[in-house]
Amino acid sequence: MPIPLGVYVAVSLGIGTGGLAAYFAKKADGTVEEVTKDVFDQLVEEGVPLLEALAGELGALSLQFVEGLGEAVVKGVDRTYDYIRDKFIKGREPDIIAGFTIGMLTLLTGVYVWHSVKNARDAL
């Protein structure tokens, strides 16, 4: 919900207890700019209302960030798959399937032999 103001909305963000703070002023046209502490204090002395709905704006920005991050991850995975397929897999499908099949059969044979020896109780 926009706040109807004439000139500025002053916002102070304090981080931790180390005295690190950032001061922002929101103009009537909606643009936000970082201001010095002196300008911020002057705006407060002039009676410019402080922005109290900061949590809502931060929540909206956080949601946009998370949505953008999810989209970026999906695009990245898709592009990585396309690159790997074009670079290494295309045209070699039979060799790759044969390699996976040989690897799986070797693994299963090893597990079968291990369990056979373990259950016989004469080799260990």
- pLDDT at residue 103, rounded to an integer: 95
Question: 43-78 in b/e burial notation, b at 16+ Cβ within 10 A?
Answer: beeeebeebeeeeeeeeeeeeeeeeeeeeeeeeeee
Is residue 123 scored above 60 in pLDDT?
no
Asked if pLDDT for residue 11 goes beyond 90, the answer is no
pLDDT in tens, 20-69: 566 777 777 777 777 777 877 787 787 766 654 455 666 777 888 888 88
pLDDT, one tens digit per residue, over 79-89 is 999 998 888 88
% of the chain surpassing 70 pLDDT: 69
Greatest pairwise CA separation for the chain in angstroms:
92
- Asked if 19 and 39 touch (Cβ cutoff 8 Å), the reply is no
Contact predicate 8/15, CB 8 Å: no
